[in-house]
Amino acid sequence: MKRYSAFAVAREALRYHTGWERAWRSPEPKRHYDVIIVGAGGHGLATAYYLGKNFGITNVAIIEKGWLGGGNTGRNTTIIRSNYLQDPSAAIYEKARSLYETMSQDLNYNVMFSPRGVIMLAQTEHEIRGYKRTAHANALQGVQTEWISPERVKEIVPIINLHGPRYPVLGGLWQERGGTARHDAVAWGYARACSDMGMDIIQQCEVTGVRTEGGRVAGVETTKGPIDCDKLGMVVAGNASHLSEMAGFRLPMESVALQALVSEPIKPCMDVVVMANTVHGYMSQSDKGEMVIGGGTDAANNYTQRGSFHHIEETVRALVETFPMVSRLKMLRQWGGIVDVTGDRSPLISKTPVGNCFINAGWGTGGFKAIPGSGWAMAELMATGHSPLTEEFTIDRFKEGKFIDESVAAGVAH
């Protein structure tokens, strides 16, 4: 792999950019791999990357039914934060956030990580208490967050309306080291690094069955023929229930649509991410100038990657009252992704009833921020059978009553 650098740009400029090579290979599948990862989204590619980097396992295939990074990795609103209430969540999200800080250097790929700061607005007395509690919990967890006054919120976000028609802004939970990154670049950077380590990324190859022998996984049936493996990682977000059914077990989750939309590009007006959870909307400004907007999930099960119109209306209404200038914006695009939501709104990173078959799913509405931490932990779990970061995120936790309840702390969009 040729390294990307300022020198490389200068060199290619002098020869009409004829020297750039493909970022990753598109090989035909081999008959056998040590590890197969199903799903070439951020989490799947990150899992493969850390299997190679941290554990030297490179005989790996990443199988993708569509195109690389075309699912939720390319459909989210790119927000990165780790201000969670529960210890296991804070640990894995903070691991992810810290890996984002050095990801561009690590992958030699510019993922445009921008630690611009994330504010979660408190607009009710209940939220004030909730966020102060989260700030205290974060202090104990080593996650840097702070409770800020409405005046400080206005200072950071001049376009905000503190005295909205329904809910005043009473303060906020401020994570200065949170921010955004370029979502496609995260997938592309990991893919390039995986391919460079000799891993095979096989796109447009759908898994149609999971083969087991004596209670252990033996391989998968795909639209490009059967492929054997010693270990299988299922990292397919919204389709996890469908895939686990092929392997013969069920999951405690449901798949629903989550939508996002962007406005026309405008001049820079807001250099942080703002989440308004009571009125149900969040917004940031992309480097292109578009206002990137998200809201809540639909209520009913859905696999169509489309959302419903009344949720867009709800989200935009929330933002108009929080940021009056939004009323003058034209919206350019709207899209949906299928998110998998568990009973306690926390993910599953776990062994499964099938031997050597592992699952990483249930990230619900907030998976992008977790990509590097999730991949790091999943790789450790798959390689060694144990990871301190995944200990609490088992499928069995519901039976034990050991929930990691983030339905309040995780903020908007549940």
Partner 1 sequence: MLILECPYCGVKAEETELGAGGEAHLKRYGPGSDDDQFHDYLFMRENPKGVHFERWRHANGCGKWFHAARCTMTMEVFGTYAAQTTEPPQEIKDKITAKRPGWSWREFSDAAE
Provide the binding-site residues for partner 1, judged by CB under 8 A. 239, 241-242, 250-255, 299-304, 306, 308-310, 342-343, 398-399
> How many degrees, rounded to 5, is the angle at CA 287 between CA 256 and CA 263?
55
Pick between residue 181 and residue 240 the one whose CB is nearest to partner 1. 240
Pick between residue 343 and residue 355 the one whose CB is nearest to partner 1. 343
Pick between residue 239 and residue 285 the one whose CB is nearest to partner 1. 239
Pick between residue 169 and residue 253 the one whose CB is nearest to partner 1. 253
How far is the C-alpha of 56 from the C-alpha of 50, rounded, in Å? Answer: 9
* Least Å from the CB of residue 399 to partner 1: 5
Closest CA to 120 of 11, 297, 281: 281
Pick between residue 114 and residue 244 the one whose CB is nearest to partner 1. 244
* Least Å from the CB of residue 414 to partner 1: 13
* Least Å from the CB of residue 242 to partner 1: 5
- Strands 290-301, 171-175: parallel, antiparallel or unpaired by DSSP? unpaired
* Least Å from the CB of residue 384 to partner 1: 28
Q: Are the CB atoms for 184 and 69 separated by under 8 Å?
A: yes
How far is the C-alpha of 80 from the C-alpha of 370, rounded, in Å? Answer: 8
* Least Å from the CB of residue 223 to partner 1: 16
How far is the C-alpha of 397 from the C-alpha of 406, rounded, in Å? Answer: 14
Pick between residue 196 and residue 340 the one whose CB is nearest to partner 1. 340
Q: Are the CB atoms for 290 and 332 separated by under 8 Å?
A: yes
* Least Å from the CB of residue 208 to partner 1: 13
* Least Å from the CB of residue 271 to partner 1: 35
* Least Å from the CB of residue 187 to partner 1: 24
* Least Å from the CB of residue 331 to partner 1: 18
Pick between residue 241 and residue 365 the one whose CB is nearest to partner 1. 241
Pick between residue 70 and residue 150 the one whose CB is nearest to partner 1. 70
Q: Are the CB atoms for 382 and 47 separated by under 8 Å?
A: yes
Pick between residue 330 and residue 399 the one whose CB is nearest to partner 1. 399
